[in-house]
Structure 1
Amino acid sequence: MLTIYGVYRSRASRVYWMAEELGLEFRSVPVLQARRLADPLASEAPLNTHSADFANVNPMSQIPSIRDGELVMHESLAINLYLARKHGGPLSGQTVEEDGLLTMWSIWAASQVEPETVRIVLTYDNGLENSDEGKQVIAAACRALRRPFAALESHLAGRQWIVGDRFTVADLNIAEVLRYAQSEEAVFNAHPNIKAWIERCQSRPAYKAMQAGRSQEPAEV
């Protein structure tokens, strides 16, 4: 059985969504981010990214990780590409060319978009969105997102999905990276193709199942 290490309120959400899309039976091992705990190394601390037991799974002390049989993997977007390829179906590439595009768009999301969307979401997580410093960070991130958003907006013109004519792992991976910036409604309103596309992604039953799991976790520890 697939084992997913990580909480829903983390990048593990992407893997939980993917498992739901594929209809996979999985075991969830909640691993908290150490930054959410006052003393992550305390004897009574819950399993977290600084726990010795988790370091045995992922020496980088980051979530998510998975164990699938004898295989242990880290990095959420790579995990999803692996699961799509292993289990096949419409979420996976149907040709070598599609496989290449799924990988390209996932790497694009990680390298060109996620650094800025993470800056936005962490500003909110730290309660700084209304401070002068926080507003400056968010504004700078939104400026940095102009070029990648323009590229994706153009790519989606006349298309429903990122690759091919169906929802794939590329849509899932990119939608989860962009979700971190959805607090900035003006950015999405200025890109109607992206706004309509992410709404399609987030209307899927598997996404809603993931969000249901997320809603059951405490926002704070």
Structure 2
Amino acid sequence: MKILVVEDEKKVAKFLKQGLEEERYVVDVASDGLQGETLALSGDYDLIILDIFLPKKDGIVVLKGVRSKQLKTPILMLTARSSVEDKVEGLDSGADDYLSKPFAFAELVARVRSLLRRGAAEKSTILKIQDLQLDTVTHKAKRADRAIELTGKEYALLEYLMRNVNRVLTRTILSEHIWNYNFDTGTNVVDVYVN
């Protein structure tokens, strides 16, 4: 599952990215509202975590903009604005959930799982190729009904490969999507994982 975090505070963005990657999500970060809106509209994400106070374009404006373009991706507002009026405005503008800062990371992850389950009701959460199965909500993999233990990166790589079956995926594509690297011909990180 791929998550977009739209957050301008570098420490918060880094914390969210690292924590969510430890939970086996693939995470992209946008540091302003304009970039966040552009990435959100690419339709490449299963969930968006959106701050309100953003440079270039306010989070509420971004939220209304993507909803006006019929983007159905679940959106969790994560912001310092915590009054009832702020929450009502965020939810009425199209957010699926709203969490105020400061927050407990365990609660954020529980809300992420909840939003992904809701979205998963509309589409299958099980990816299957022959006897290989991957549950994209629980992050469990099985082959011939035997559980497979995967690291976070192994899971992200397997999910990406299964979602792109019958498509040629270059080292560049894999390194940019899974590791968020610009491909360096001197690295063998992709080869180490795909052997």
Larger proportion of strand: 2
TM-score range, shorter chain: under 0.3
Larger proportion of helix: 1
